[in-house]
Chain A
Amino acid sequence: QVTLRESGPALVKPTQTLTLTCTFSGFSLSTNGMCVTWIRQPPGKALEWLARIDWDDDKSYSTSLKTRLTISKDTSKNQVVLTMTNMDPVDTATYFCARIYRGGWNYIDYWGQGTLVTVSS
């Protein structure tokens, strides 16, 4: 059974760095084709793709946010960590982590429940 769970602070102050952890089970990030991606959704708005880390440690980032994002993995702990620097109130959103298999047709088949992060002083 595949599960993913996001964890991190619910509230951060402007200019601070956000660190989110995705803890997953039911698959291994060392398996060919397995990837974890982060997606966010501001309240009432659309999904926004943020970053992805692949089984081979290849990383991809949102073009508009890449200077602020870092994604990393700890395969032994089944965790993926996303950091976002210089947080601003516009970064208030629900942040989701999800599994994507890139061994053929690439699609997200499992999502975490999401964690709401509010940026406010």
Chain B
Amino acid sequence: DIQMTQSPSSLSASVGDRVTITCRASQSISSYLNWYQQKPGKAPKLLIYAASSFHSGVPSRFSGSGSGTDFTLTISSLQPEDFATYYCQQTYSSPDTFGQGTKLEIK
């Protein structure tokens, strides 16, 4: 199985900050990397697919980059509604594994 490792596990930041979350795959996954945002009690929502493509309706302050084994999700200027948990997921090969999540909290 391909292991996905996110860092950091948690992060405190302020509104307006620029934040970067990293996801590393245990082997190359090309660009088959997706990012999801989850708020408490809700299902996750797709933000980024194919490492850097925006899902419909996602604000432009979110961006993704990377290929192979190393990927990043960047939020350019944090908004109050962005405080949530973020997960990466690889869909290069089954099982489609998730990272352990990064909880973004208000400082």
Contact = CB atoms under 8 A, between A and B. Distances in A.
Interface residues of B, number: 25
Interface in A87-121: 96, 98, 100, 102, 105-109, 111-114
Given A105-B53, A106-B32, A108-B34, A49 B98 contact: yes
Interface stretch (B15-23, B43-51, B73-81): B43-51
**Chain B interface secondary structure, helix, strand, loop or mixed?**
loop
B105 interface: no
B32 A49 contact: no
A39 B36 CA distance: 13
Interface residues of A, number: 24
A79 interface: no
B31 A105 contact: yes
Q: Which of A47, A52, A98 has the largest count of B CB atoms less than 10 A from its CB?
A: A47
A1 to B, nearest CB: 14
